[in-house]
Structure 1
């Protein structure tokens, strides 16, 4: 279904809601005195956008009214620049959830409160709009524009604490690395466009299937394009920005980048390399085109990313920096499902991203709770957390960290199980062994934090940790599903299975 620009509006309600809310917040910040309610406006905007995204794939009725209001269906939008299908909507839901959690965290953060809140919340929503379009991009131009839009807003949000030297330094490094990756990526896209004669993924795929693109030209283009995508998911060799940015940014933004931005990178990566540069061969399998074996290249990136991320995390004393390196390693874990070239691997990736959303944002939330009370984000600041008023955050942190390590019966275990099952079934045995060894390494540094919270007694200088009702609500919202999905994951894996569907016209 190829919709006109006017008809496409009915399928763009999540983006329209978020953008409208962001504009309202920007204007209100200019004309209304007092910023205390702007965060609540942003929160409602995220909630309505989430409902609209869910409505895109819920066929309540096939009447013209429901289709007009919810945009139910799939097809090409805006002259084939954007596509709406099961895959895109799955990621739209994740991005809206990430934005909702980020705004909720920000409302309870001492770092954010009272400092240009209108600009802050407006930029969070604007960045989310870019992520939504990254998941739907069906054209190299739209992919580049949406990725750049997310990057530009992320630079500003990272340096949001203008009077904090560390925040400014992080934003500058992020900008420099991002600029290099962006320039390299668009150069690769120009190679691909010149060889295929089109920016449209479907036409590029057709040119590849006909053997119209020189394999060497395609290989160079893929290498250059991967620079931008690897930068967005924080994988080797474009991972260097992540530790400094995650450490210097406000904690809610760190959580947002580690989940939303990373998931957006995976969405745009899958969209280009599967329906764009590969073809379905039946039985849920995919085959790369034009003789360029990009899965082997990604296999190397996957293993090196896991190894480097986990080894670098071992000696970290700052919890935010430790979680940054952990996030790099988890990019490697997620790529395991990408390299196997079948729907089973993609399904495992989508499920793992859901679990990663819960446990990683949850871990950063506990860090924020501790920083709010003590001002400390080093591991020693967590000493005896369970015995100085922070029993609930300590237990929640243990749940999130053990889930990140992949221990049963938690969501992270199920996510890794599906990833390893897909890898073993595809006979990537070395990759499975590397992934297992890295999971054991990760367990060490996660357990170090848990030991500090429960077994190391406080010295009296750490300060008392308090948990208010606002942060407690989000903490329970993230911790309970992390436990439940470890024992009953069927609905989410079924959703992921249905979402491994690309509309190709």
Structure 2
């Protein structure tokens, strides 16, 4: 890859400039406009910024531009980053549609207090996600993660008068601060060894030290384990998941949906890039299983088991989906610990399909809670199949896909994950695959509780309820690819396969 200076890098940084311009326009319009035009302008500017960022990134990807090192090597410009730029822009746009009518974001209230701040922060977080996936320098990795984390703290506590929201945000801050400190400590070990923050230079030093000692040096192992605390915190991997259920339950549902897919996707993207570029990690060595494959496998098993078995006992649907999100991070870690192209392709494809089905599930949760005085318990779903049949069908589609049942997209995503493990071979990978299959079966039990409540339990009231048109339309729009990608996924998978050759 060619290293570009600051001026040369600007033409490859246009999606981020679009987001920055969107933030400035949203803040300016929020200060100047009044009445209905205020929220219309805010939403229009935010959507326009995300659309512009997405279109420019699509242009980069379609034109197959060569990979570059931007800003003297701080950021990477490659197909891998461009694909995630598109994903983040699409996720952001869906969240804006999700959040517009919601009173908890300020947009759905009469005074619309806080709406400008909400959408401006959402755009800045999207900018941070882009920087995360492009980072190829330890300093940029840390700064981009902190940019996303600090603003996520604010959005998680956006319901100022809600005790659960404040409690969740405080726990988010505490766990985030701890993970950040441990990650910085790990980075200091790697910097002390390599005398550089650049991932490529770290890789050269790691290879030299490993060759000299015949195995991975202890200093590198300690540094990487500490850095895994920061990465694990972003993706909600056990044992760094403790903040997740309280934050997901207390935050505005639109932000819960965003946190469950956006930062998680960016966390996996930078995790894959770090291990590929800084460690050149492999699953096997002449001496057998590498420490990286063993650590990744342990994290995957712990994350799946904690997420799925804890979800079995939840009565709050948002909290249940929080533990479900933890479990899905475990499934994606199965593809990570293979350290092969097929594993990376499986992770990225799974992220794409997971975004559709998980955003859709949280959208239904928001719609049901709105009609039940913010009651998110499973009892509010009693008889939903008769009171709101379209909404119930959408929820059933998302839950079947999250379980991994055919013919839905979640099945194909898990198929590629398990196929990568089986293709890699070895007893360790077979154990991981077996644990993954068992956990997928366990997840059916708690998803089935919601299905039973919707279709097999008598409603507490016969009164039907209507859903906001924007939410119903968005739910259907998310359900369509959830079904289509379960029967015809080749174009999306081929796009992913072409894009992940970079890291």
TM-score normalised by length of structure 1: 0.93
List structure 1 segments (4+ residues) > 6 angstroms apart after TM superposition. Answer: 285-289
Matches within 5 A, 1:56-455: 56-59=60-63, 72-112=65-105, 113=108, 114-211=112-209, 215-278=217-280, 293-375=291-373, 376-388=375-387, 390-427=388-425, 428-455=429-456
* Cα distance in 2 for residues equivalent to 1:144 and 1:329: 25
SS at match of 1:76: strand
* Cα distance in 1 for residues equivalent to 2:116 and 2:269: 29
* Cα distance in 2 for residues equivalent to 1:272 and 1:312: 30
Gaps of 5+ in 2: none
SS at match of 2:3: coil
SS at match of 2:422: helix
Q: Which residue of 2 aligns with 1:36?
A: 39
Alignment: residue pair count: 485
**Pairwise CA distance, 1:9:** 1.1
User: How big is each residue's C-alpha offset from its partner over 1:178-201, in whole Å with a ceiling of 9 and x where there is no partner?
Assistant: 000001101110110011111000
Q: Which residue of 2 aligns with 1:66?
A: none
- Say if 2:43 is the partner of 1:55: no
Q: Which residue of 1 aligns with 2:484?
A: 484
**Pairwise CA distance, 1:40:** 2.7
* Cα distance in 1 for residues equivalent to 2:464 and 2:51: 33
**Pairwise CA distance, 1:91:** 1.3
**Pairwise CA distance, 1:485:** 0.3
Gaps of 5+ in 1: 61-71
Q: Which residue of 2 aligns with 1:493?
A: 493
**Pairwise CA distance, 1:343:** 0.6
* Cα distance in 1 for residues equivalent to 2:34 and 2:141: 38
Which is further off, 205-214 or 37-46?
A: 205-214
**Pairwise CA distance, 1:41:** 2.0
User: How big is each residue's C-alpha offset from its partner over 1:45-102, in whole Å with a ceiling of 9 and x where there is no partner?
Assistant: 2122111111111119xxxxxxxxxxx4420001100001111112111111111111
- When residues 287 and 496 of structure 1 are mapped into structure 2, their CA distance, relative to the original with a 3 A threshold, is farther
Which is further off, 291-300 or 194-203?
A: 291-300
SS at match of 2:69: strand
**What root-mean-square deviation, in Å, do the aligned CA atoms of Structure 1 and Structure 2 show?**
1.8
SS at match of 1:210: helix
Contact 2:335/2:421 (<8 A) preserved: yes
Contact 1:278/1:286 (<8 A) preserved: no
Contact 1:219/1:292 (<8 A) preserved: no
**Pairwise CA distance, 1:426:** 1.5
**Pairwise CA distance, 1:292:** 6.1
Contact 2:306/2:327 (<8 A) preserved: yes
* Cα distance in 2 for residues equivalent to 1:253 and 1:310: 22
Contact 2:187/2:223 (<8 A) preserved: yes
Which is further off, 33-42 or 267-276?
A: 33-42
* Cα distance in 2 for residues equivalent to 1:96 and 1:288: 43
**Pairwise CA distance, 1:286:** 8.1
**Pairwise CA distance, 1:473:** 2.1
**Pairwise CA distance, 1:287:** 6.6
* Cα distance in 2 for residues equivalent to 1:25 and 1:156: 18
Contact 2:407/2:483 (<8 A) preserved: yes
- When residues 287 and 372 of structure 1 are mapped into structure 2, their CA distance, relative to the original with a 3 A threshold, is farther
* Cα distance in 2 for residues equivalent to 1:444 and 1:161: 32
**Pairwise CA distance, 1:371:** 1.6
* Cα distance in 2 for residues equivalent to 1:489 and 1:95: 20
**Pairwise CA distance, 1:437:** 0.5
User: How big is each residue's C-alpha offset from its partner over 1:238-260, in whole Å with a ceiling of 9 and x where there is no partner?
Assistant: 00000000000000000000000
- When residues 226 and 288 of structure 1 are mapped into structure 2, their CA distance, relative to the original with a 3 A threshold, is farther
Which is further off, 104-113 or 237-246?
A: 104-113
Contact 1:374/1:464 (<8 A) preserved: no
**Pairwise CA distance, 1:373:** 1.8
**Pairwise CA distance, 1:20:** 1.1
* Cα distance in 1 for residues equivalent to 2:20 and 2:243: 28
SS at match of 1:57: helix
